[in-house]
Amino acid sequence: MGLIIKNIRGLVQVESDPRKYAAGKGMSFLPVVENAWLLIIGNCIESFGKMDEYSLDETNHETIDAAGRFVFPSYCDSHTHLVYAGSREIEYTDKIRGLSYEEIARRGGGILNSAKLLGETSEDDLFDQSMVRVNEIIGMGTGAVEIKSGYGLTVESEIKMLRVIKRIGESSPLEVKATFLGAHSLPEEFRDNRGKYVDIVINEMIPAVASDDLAEYIDVFCDKGFFTVDETEKILMAGLKYGLTPKIHANELDFSGGIQAGIKYGALSVDHLEFTGDAEINALLESETMPTLLPGAALFLGMVDPPARRMIDAGLPVALASDYNPGSSPSGNMKLIMSLGCIKLKMLPEEVINAVTINGAYAMGLADTHGSIARGKTANLFITREIPSYQFMPYAFGSDLVEMVILNGEVVE
């Protein structure tokens, strides 16, 4: 017994020969089969084709008629911090009044504010609060998500966060990847002894994370006012010894050297990249590292936009992610992220769709199983409402256009 979706107006991001990622001119290539059918068996995509060659025996399968609708592979959101306690709308007001992100952080707000709240929140409560966000993003079309720690900043609280992330992976239909981000911000008590905190990250946190197998990736906020290149390199090196692959925050606030540091240690992705020039672009061109842009954070903080157009025109791939977090991007809406990619970053609809599917999947090590409609890949997809074209998705930036969500071959919404 399988699941057939038929009369699909457009089956988007269909691959017979799956790509590792889309780069440069290839980012504007989006394979779409019009008037299509799709067959799912178990949790995998079995086959697809055009309706004029449709010959499946429907008696053996459940059938959904998707007339007038498009089918997209689920979004792969490769950068989030969606496990957190409470919220930070007070700082939002401070920002409206003119304080910068760094000023708020210096006054003990920002990440440290979330860390304080998280320390006071039980693991079960943290899980329940986070599951609200998980269910929200499932309903908006996300099928795979990377989630970072980094609001713990003590061994105990970082482990608590990572245990919650693991539990989300076990109890929701989302594919979840966990990243250890102990070096997200320097706790107040280490202000005059930075080396001590870096020591704790390296000698206490990383071994604890690895011994319980709680993360696959390691992140550092390598930027002005946060962690230096030297500190970042030490932490990444220590992580690599324990099998943690780098995936770092870089060049959000300045030309921090973070992009080059990430590449040097084989980062799967470097993320944010508002401050990216020729040297960074050239370094990325020589690497297999996915440049990942977070236009929700740039919008929310009123930052300069990263030079997406220059990057793609130079031949680079680009992934887009939500950065869902309480301080700089309190939204996991990947459809809105696509719209921001088009409106703010001047990316084409085809480019943003590649950026949130196949390139997002690569940026979290899931390109073989997620990010496109291909035989044998996990059946994670959504059916839209009736829309005139796939370009309508990023164009209608305020409308909810996801009608049905299918994850692991099962209808979940």
The least distance separating ligand NIG from the CB of residue 84, rounded to whole angstroms, comes to: 7
Does the footprint of ligand NIG cover residue 327 (CB under 6 A)?
yes
**Sign (positive or negative) of CA dihedral 360, 364, 367, 370:** negative
Are 185 and 81 a contacting pair, CB within 8 Å?
no
Residue 306 CB burial class (10 angstroms; 0-12, 13-18, ≥19): buried
Does the footprint of ligand NIG cover residue 114 (CB under 6 A)?
yes
Per-residue three-class SS string for 329-359? ECCCCHHHHHHHHHHCCCCCHHHHHHHHCHH
The least distance separating ligand NIG from the CB of residue 165, rounded to whole angstroms, comes to: 16
CA 150 vs CA 46, 70, 89, 298, 331: distances in Å: 39, 37, 19, 20, 18
Among residues 73, 110, 141, 394, the one that binds ligand NIG under rule CB under 6 A: 110
Give the span between the Cα atoms of 413 and 404, in whole angstroms: 6
Each residue 279-318 as x (binds Fe ion by CB under 5 A) or -, in order, gives ----------------------------------------
Does the footprint of Fe ion cover residue 274 (CB under 5 A)?
no
Does the footprint of Fe ion cover residue 91 (CB under 5 A)?
no
Does the footprint of ligand NIG cover residue 295 (CB under 6 A)?
no
- 84 vs 390, which CB is nearer to Fe ion? 84
Are 108 and 187 a contacting pair, CB within 8 Å?
no
Tokens (6 digits) for 210: 């690895």
State the DSSP string of 87-150.
Answer: --HHHHHHHHTT--HHHHHHTT-HHHHHHHHHHTS-HHHHHHHHHHHHHHHHHTTEEEEEEE--
Among residues 19, 160, 249, 370, the one that binds ligand NIG under rule CB under 6 A: 249
Does the footprint of Fe ion cover residue 323 (CB under 5 A)?
yes
The least distance separating ligand NIG from the CB of residue 96, rounded to whole angstroms, comes to: 16
- 184 vs 264, which CB is nearer to Fe ion? 184
Q: What are the two backbone dihedrals, phi and then psi, of residue 127, each rounded to the nearest 5 degrees? A: -60, -50
Are 210 and 130 a contacting pair, CB within 8 Å?
no
CA 195 vs CA 149, 192, 219, 221, 404: distances in Å: 21, 9, 18, 16, 50
Each residue 298-317 as x (binds ligand NIG by CB under 6 A) or -, in order, gives --------------------
Q: Which does 326 bind (CB under 5 to 8 A by kind): ligand NIG, Fe ion, none?
A: ligand NIG
- 13 vs 179, which CB is nearer to Fe ion? 179
The least distance separating ligand NIG from the CB of residue 133, rounded to whole angstroms, comes to: 14
Q: Which does 233 bind (CB under 5 to 8 A by kind): ligand NIG, Fe ion, none?
A: none
Does the footprint of Fe ion cover residue 77 (CB under 5 A)?
no
Does the footprint of ligand NIG cover residue 74 (CB under 6 A)?
no
**How big is the site for ligand NIG, counted in residues (CB under 6 A)?**
13
Indicate left, alpha or beta for 365 from its phi (over 0: left) and psi (-120 to 50: alpha). Answer: left
Among residues 172, 325, 331, 384, the one that binds ligand NIG under rule CB under 6 A: 325
Give the span between the Cα atoms of 20 and 319, in whole angstroms: 12
**How big is the site for Fe ion, counted in residues (CB under 5 A)?**
1
Tell me which residues in 198-237 interact with ligand NIG (CB under 6 A): 221
Does the footprint of ligand NIG cover residue 330 (CB under 6 A)?
no
Collapsed DSSP state (helix, strand, coil) of residue 373: strand
Where along the sequence are the contacts to Fe ion (CB under 5 A)? 323
Where along the sequence are the contacts to ligand NIG (CB under 6 A)? 81, 110-111, 114, 221, 249, 252, 297, 323, 325-328
